[in-house]
Structure 1
Protein backbone atom coordinates (compact mmCIF):
# COMPACT_ATOMS: atom_id res chain seq x y z
CA UNK A 1 0.00 0.00 0.00
CA UNK A 2 1.63 3.26 -1.15
CA UNK A 3 -0.26 6.49 -1.85
CA UNK A 4 1.10 9.94 -2.66
CA UNK A 5 -0.44 13.16 -1.33
CA UNK A 6 -0.97 15.35 -4.38
CA UNK A 7 -4.08 17.10 -5.60
CA UNK A 8 -5.22 14.17 -7.74
CA UNK A 9 -4.55 11.56 -5.06
CA UNK A 10 -5.66 13.38 -1.91
CA UNK A 11 -9.05 11.69 -2.13
CA UNK A 12 -7.39 8.34 -2.77
CA UNK A 13 -5.20 8.73 0.31
CA UNK A 14 -8.21 9.75 2.37
CA UNK A 15 -10.14 6.72 1.14
CA UNK A 16 -7.24 4.34 1.85
CA UNK A 17 -6.82 5.72 5.38
CA UNK A 18 -10.56 5.52 6.05
CA UNK A 19 -10.62 1.92 4.82
CA UNK A 20 -7.58 1.10 6.95
CA UNK A 21 -9.29 2.66 10.01
CA UNK A 22 -12.65 1.03 9.27
CA UNK A 23 -12.53 -1.37 12.24
CA UNK A 24 -10.59 0.99 14.54
CA UNK A 25 -11.65 1.28 18.16
CA UNK A 26 -8.75 3.46 19.39
CA UNK A 27 -6.34 5.36 17.16
CA UNK A 28 -2.91 6.66 18.11
CA UNK A 29 -1.09 9.18 15.93
CA UNK A 30 2.65 9.18 16.62
CA UNK A 31 4.75 11.86 15.02
CA UNK A 32 8.49 11.47 14.82
CA UNK A 33 11.05 14.05 13.78
CA UNK A 34 13.25 16.87 14.93
CA UNK A 35 11.47 20.25 15.09
CA UNK A 36 14.88 21.96 14.97
CA UNK A 37 15.67 20.42 11.56
CA UNK A 38 13.32 22.41 9.32
CA UNK A 39 11.06 20.02 7.33
CA UNK A 40 11.81 17.12 9.68
CA UNK A 41 9.58 18.92 12.21
CA UNK A 42 6.45 18.74 10.03
CA UNK A 43 4.95 16.03 12.26
CA UNK A 44 5.30 18.13 15.40
CA UNK A 45 3.52 20.98 13.64
CA UNK A 46 0.77 18.57 12.54
CA UNK A 47 0.23 17.57 16.18
CA UNK A 48 0.13 21.25 17.21
CA UNK A 49 -2.49 21.95 14.55
CA UNK A 50 -4.64 18.93 15.43
CA UNK A 51 -4.24 19.62 19.15
CA UNK A 52 -6.26 22.83 18.74
CA UNK A 53 -9.40 20.80 17.99
CA UNK A 54 -11.66 18.61 20.05
CA UNK A 55 -10.57 15.15 19.04
CA UNK A 56 -12.76 12.15 19.72
CA UNK A 57 -11.84 10.33 22.95
CA UNK A 58 -10.68 7.31 20.96
CA UNK A 59 -7.94 9.35 19.21
CA UNK A 60 -4.70 10.17 21.00
CA UNK A 61 -1.81 12.27 19.67
CA UNK A 62 1.81 11.58 20.63
CA UNK A 63 4.51 14.11 19.72
CA UNK A 64 7.49 11.75 19.97
CA UNK A 65 9.99 14.04 18.22
CA UNK A 66 13.36 12.22 18.07
CA UNK A 67 12.75 9.75 20.91
CA UNK A 68 9.67 7.65 20.08
CA UNK A 69 10.95 4.92 22.42
CA UNK A 70 10.18 7.24 25.37
CA UNK A 71 6.47 7.07 24.51
CA UNK A 72 6.06 3.30 24.28
CA UNK A 73 4.74 2.98 27.86
CA UNK A 74 2.07 5.65 27.24
CA UNK A 75 1.11 4.08 23.94
CA UNK A 76 0.88 0.63 25.53
CA UNK A 77 -1.32 2.08 28.31
CA UNK A 78 -3.63 3.71 25.73
CA UNK A 79 -4.09 0.29 24.00
CA UNK A 80 -4.67 1.50 20.42
CA UNK A 81 -6.10 -0.80 17.80
CA UNK A 82 -4.52 1.33 15.07
CA UNK A 83 -1.31 3.38 15.03
CA UNK A 84 -0.49 6.00 12.41
CA UNK A 85 3.20 6.94 12.41
CA UNK A 86 4.07 10.27 10.78
CA UNK A 87 7.71 10.87 9.87
CA UNK A 88 9.77 12.59 7.22
CA UNK A 89 11.67 10.15 5.05
CA UNK A 90 13.97 10.06 2.07
CA UNK A 91 11.50 8.78 -0.52
CA UNK A 92 13.39 10.08 -3.56
CA UNK A 93 10.27 12.02 -4.50
CA UNK A 94 9.53 15.71 -4.86
CA UNK A 95 9.41 17.63 -1.54
CA UNK A 96 6.06 17.45 0.21
CA UNK A 97 5.16 14.07 -1.27
CA UNK A 98 3.40 11.84 1.26
CA UNK A 99 3.25 8.09 0.97
CA UNK A 100 1.09 5.76 2.99
CA UNK A 101 3.42 2.85 3.65
CA UNK A 102 2.76 -0.57 5.10
CA UNK A 103 5.28 -1.65 7.79
CA UNK A 104 6.42 -4.48 5.53
CA UNK A 105 7.59 -1.91 2.95
CA UNK A 106 9.60 0.31 5.33
CA UNK A 107 12.97 -1.44 4.97
CA UNK A 108 14.15 0.58 1.96
CA UNK A 109 13.15 4.02 3.27
CA UNK A 110 15.75 6.19 5.03
CA UNK A 111 14.86 7.85 8.35
CA UNK A 112 17.84 9.69 9.76
CA UNK A 113 17.03 12.03 12.64
CA UNK A 114 15.92 9.68 15.40
CA UNK A 115 17.86 7.21 17.48
CA UNK A 116 15.76 4.04 17.32
CA UNK A 117 15.26 2.48 13.88
CA UNK A 118 11.59 2.69 12.90
CA UNK A 119 11.46 -1.04 12.20
CA UNK A 120 12.35 -1.77 15.86
CA UNK A 121 9.70 0.64 17.11
CA UNK A 122 7.07 -0.94 14.87
CA UNK A 123 8.03 -4.47 15.91
CA UNK A 124 7.80 -3.48 19.59
CA UNK A 125 4.46 -1.68 19.20
CA UNK A 126 2.99 -4.67 17.37
CA UNK A 127 4.20 -6.97 20.14
CA UNK A 128 2.84 -4.96 23.07
CA UNK A 129 -0.34 -3.57 21.53
CA UNK A 130 -1.29 -5.93 18.68
CA UNK A 131 -2.29 -2.73 16.85
CA UNK A 132 -2.38 -2.34 13.10
CA UNK A 133 0.36 0.10 12.08
CA UNK A 134 0.85 2.29 9.03
CA UNK A 135 3.34 5.03 8.19
CA UNK A 136 2.65 8.40 6.60
CA UNK A 137 6.10 9.15 5.19
CA UNK A 138 6.74 12.72 4.05
CA UNK A 139 9.54 13.72 1.67
CA UNK A 140 11.39 16.71 3.17
CA UNK A 141 13.14 19.37 1.12
CA UNK A 142 15.45 20.66 3.84
CA UNK A 143 16.52 19.01 7.10
CA UNK A 144 19.26 21.50 7.94
CA UNK A 145 19.08 23.20 11.33
CA UNK A 146 16.23 25.69 11.48
CA UNK A 147 12.64 25.81 12.67
CA UNK A 148 10.82 26.97 9.53
CA UNK A 149 9.18 24.66 7.03
CA UNK A 150 9.83 25.08 3.34
CA UNK A 151 6.81 26.24 1.28
CA UNK A 152 6.30 22.70 -0.07
CA UNK A 153 6.07 21.26 3.42
CA UNK A 154 3.80 24.08 4.64
CA UNK A 155 1.41 23.12 1.85
CA UNK A 156 1.64 19.44 2.81
CA UNK A 157 1.07 20.32 6.48
CA UNK A 158 -2.13 22.20 5.59
CA UNK A 159 -3.41 19.32 3.45
CA UNK A 160 -2.58 16.69 6.07
CA UNK A 161 -4.25 18.74 8.81
CA UNK A 162 -7.46 18.97 6.78
CA UNK A 163 -7.27 15.28 5.88
CA UNK A 164 -6.79 14.16 9.50
CA UNK A 165 -9.56 16.47 10.75
CA UNK A 166 -11.91 14.93 8.21
CA UNK A 167 -10.88 11.35 8.97
CA UNK A 168 -11.23 11.83 12.72
CA UNK A 169 -14.43 13.88 12.26
CA UNK A 170 -12.98 16.78 14.22
CA UNK A 171 -15.10 19.75 15.15
CA UNK A 172 -13.65 23.26 14.90
CA UNK A 173 -12.61 24.86 18.23
Structure 2
Protein backbone atom coordinates (compact mmCIF):
# COMPACT_ATOMS: atom_id res chain seq x y z
CA UNK A 1 0.00 0.00 0.00
CA UNK A 2 1.21 3.49 -0.93
CA UNK A 3 -0.31 6.69 0.43
CA UNK A 4 0.47 10.06 -1.17
CA UNK A 5 -0.25 13.24 0.79
CA UNK A 6 -0.24 16.46 -1.22
CA UNK A 7 0.39 19.47 0.99
CA UNK A 8 -0.06 23.14 0.08
CA UNK A 9 -2.40 25.93 -0.85
CA UNK A 10 -3.81 25.73 -4.37
CA UNK A 11 -4.84 29.39 -4.18
CA UNK A 12 -1.20 30.49 -3.88
CA UNK A 13 0.25 29.61 -7.26
CA UNK A 14 3.01 27.01 -7.12
CA UNK A 15 2.27 26.24 -3.46
CA UNK A 16 -0.41 24.03 -5.04
CA UNK A 17 2.23 21.53 -6.23
CA UNK A 18 1.37 19.04 -3.50
CA UNK A 19 -2.39 19.09 -4.05
CA UNK A 20 -1.85 18.89 -7.85
CA UNK A 21 0.34 15.83 -7.35
CA UNK A 22 -2.29 14.18 -5.16
CA UNK A 23 -4.94 14.85 -7.81
CA UNK A 24 -2.70 13.46 -10.55
CA UNK A 25 -1.96 10.28 -8.61
CA UNK A 26 -5.62 9.81 -7.64
CA UNK A 27 -6.65 10.16 -11.31
CA UNK A 28 -4.44 7.18 -12.19
CA UNK A 29 -6.72 4.85 -10.21
CA UNK A 30 -3.83 2.56 -9.30
CA UNK A 31 -4.68 -0.42 -7.11
CA UNK A 32 -2.98 -0.17 -3.72
CA UNK A 33 -2.33 3.56 -4.09
CA UNK A 34 -4.34 6.25 -2.30
CA UNK A 35 -3.77 9.98 -2.67
CA UNK A 36 -5.13 12.85 -0.59
CA UNK A 37 -5.10 16.61 -1.04
CA UNK A 38 -4.30 17.74 2.50
CA UNK A 39 -4.40 21.44 1.72
CA UNK A 40 -2.67 23.39 4.45
CA UNK A 41 -3.61 20.99 7.26
CA UNK A 42 -1.79 17.67 6.73
CA UNK A 43 -2.30 16.87 10.42
CA UNK A 44 -5.97 16.21 9.60
CA UNK A 45 -4.87 13.15 7.60
CA UNK A 46 -2.76 11.42 10.26
CA UNK A 47 -5.66 9.13 11.18
CA UNK A 48 -6.06 8.13 7.53
CA UNK A 49 -2.36 7.26 7.34
CA UNK A 50 -2.41 5.31 10.61
CA UNK A 51 -5.45 3.28 9.51
CA UNK A 52 -3.88 2.50 6.13
CA UNK A 53 -0.49 1.61 7.66
CA UNK A 54 1.14 2.01 4.23
CA UNK A 55 4.39 0.41 3.20
CA UNK A 56 5.29 3.78 1.70
CA UNK A 57 4.06 7.25 2.62
CA UNK A 58 4.93 9.98 0.11
CA UNK A 59 4.50 13.59 1.22
CA UNK A 60 4.70 16.15 -1.61
CA UNK A 61 5.01 19.89 -1.02
CA UNK A 62 6.41 23.02 -2.64
CA UNK A 63 9.88 23.53 -1.17
CA UNK A 64 12.39 26.33 -1.40
CA UNK A 65 15.56 24.45 -2.32
CA UNK A 66 17.46 27.11 -4.26
CA UNK A 67 17.01 25.15 -7.50
CA UNK A 68 15.48 26.04 -10.87
CA UNK A 69 11.67 26.21 -10.78
CA UNK A 70 10.02 22.83 -11.21
CA UNK A 71 13.01 20.88 -9.89
CA UNK A 72 12.01 17.85 -7.86
CA UNK A 73 14.04 16.35 -5.01
CA UNK A 74 13.61 13.84 -2.22
CA UNK A 75 14.27 15.74 0.99
CA UNK A 76 16.05 13.87 3.80
CA UNK A 77 14.27 14.15 7.16
CA UNK A 78 17.11 16.18 8.65
CA UNK A 79 16.80 18.78 5.85
CA UNK A 80 13.02 19.32 5.90
CA UNK A 81 13.32 22.44 8.09
CA UNK A 82 15.79 23.92 5.58
CA UNK A 83 13.17 23.90 2.81
CA UNK A 84 10.00 24.96 4.58
CA UNK A 85 7.86 27.60 2.96
CA UNK A 86 5.54 27.62 5.95
CA UNK A 87 2.04 27.75 4.51
CA UNK A 88 0.73 24.81 6.54
CA UNK A 89 -0.44 24.53 10.10
CA UNK A 90 2.02 21.82 11.17
CA UNK A 91 5.66 21.81 10.12
CA UNK A 92 6.41 18.80 7.91
CA UNK A 93 9.30 17.81 10.19
CA UNK A 94 6.79 17.35 13.04
CA UNK A 95 4.40 15.45 10.78
CA UNK A 96 7.15 13.06 9.67
CA UNK A 97 8.21 12.41 13.27
CA UNK A 98 4.59 11.87 14.33
CA UNK A 99 3.94 9.37 11.53
CA UNK A 100 7.31 7.58 11.72
CA UNK A 101 5.74 4.49 13.29
CA UNK A 102 2.69 4.51 10.98
CA UNK A 103 4.40 3.69 7.68
CA UNK A 104 7.12 1.34 6.58
CA UNK A 105 8.95 4.21 4.88
CA UNK A 106 8.32 7.94 4.53
CA UNK A 107 9.58 9.93 1.56
CA UNK A 108 9.22 13.72 1.44
CA UNK A 109 9.33 15.15 -2.09
CA UNK A 110 9.84 18.84 -2.69
CA UNK A 111 8.96 20.74 -5.86
CA UNK A 112 10.79 24.06 -6.31
CA UNK A 113 8.21 26.83 -6.85
CA UNK A 114 8.55 29.57 -9.44
CA UNK A 115 5.89 31.92 -8.11
CA UNK A 116 3.78 31.93 -4.98
CA UNK A 117 1.16 34.53 -4.33
CA UNK A 118 -2.56 34.95 -4.50
CA UNK A 119 -3.45 33.27 -7.76
CA UNK A 120 -4.71 29.87 -8.80
CA UNK A 121 -2.81 27.58 -11.09
CA UNK A 122 0.74 26.32 -11.38
CA UNK A 123 3.57 27.70 -13.44
CA UNK A 124 4.54 25.60 -16.47
CA UNK A 125 7.79 24.63 -14.71
CA UNK A 126 6.00 23.33 -11.64
CA UNK A 127 3.41 21.52 -13.78
CA UNK A 128 6.33 19.61 -15.33
CA UNK A 129 7.72 18.84 -11.87
CA UNK A 130 4.35 17.58 -10.68
CA UNK A 131 4.05 15.37 -13.79
CA UNK A 132 7.47 13.90 -12.99
CA UNK A 133 6.43 12.99 -9.44
CA UNK A 134 3.15 11.46 -10.68
CA UNK A 135 5.11 9.44 -13.27
CA UNK A 136 7.52 8.18 -10.60
CA UNK A 137 4.63 7.07 -8.37
CA UNK A 138 2.92 5.37 -11.33
CA UNK A 139 6.13 3.52 -12.21
CA UNK A 140 6.95 2.73 -8.58
CA UNK A 141 10.33 4.42 -8.93
CA UNK A 142 10.74 7.28 -6.47
CA UNK A 143 14.45 6.52 -6.36
CA UNK A 144 14.66 8.19 -9.78
CA UNK A 145 14.05 11.49 -8.02
CA UNK A 146 17.37 12.87 -6.84
CA UNK A 147 18.10 13.60 -3.20
CA UNK A 148 18.45 17.24 -2.18
CA UNK A 149 22.14 17.95 -1.61
TM-score w.r.t. the length of structure 1 is: 0.75
Specify which of 21, 28, 40 is matched with residue 66 of structure 1.
40
How many angstroms does 1:130 deviate by? 4.7
Specify which of 62, 68, 84 is matched with residue 110 of structure 1.
84
Give matches, 1:1-173, under 5 Å: 26-57=1-32, 59-127=33-101, 129-167=102-140
Higher gyration radius (CA): 1
Gaps (5+ residues) in structure 2? 142-149
Distance in 1 (alpha carbons) for counterparts of 2:14 and 2:103: 31
Gaps (5+ residues) in structure 1? 1-25, 169-173
Distance in 1 (alpha carbons) for counterparts of 2:130 and 2:76: 21
TM-score w.r.t. the length of structure 2 is: 0.86
- RMSD value over aligned CA atoms? 1.6
| Cα deviation 1:95-151 (Å, max 9, x = unaligned) | 111111221232322231101111110111014x15321111111011101111111
Distance in 1 (alpha carbons) for counterparts of 2:88 and 2:42: 8
Query: In 2, are the aligned partners of 1:103 and 1:133 still within 8 Å (CA)?
Result: no
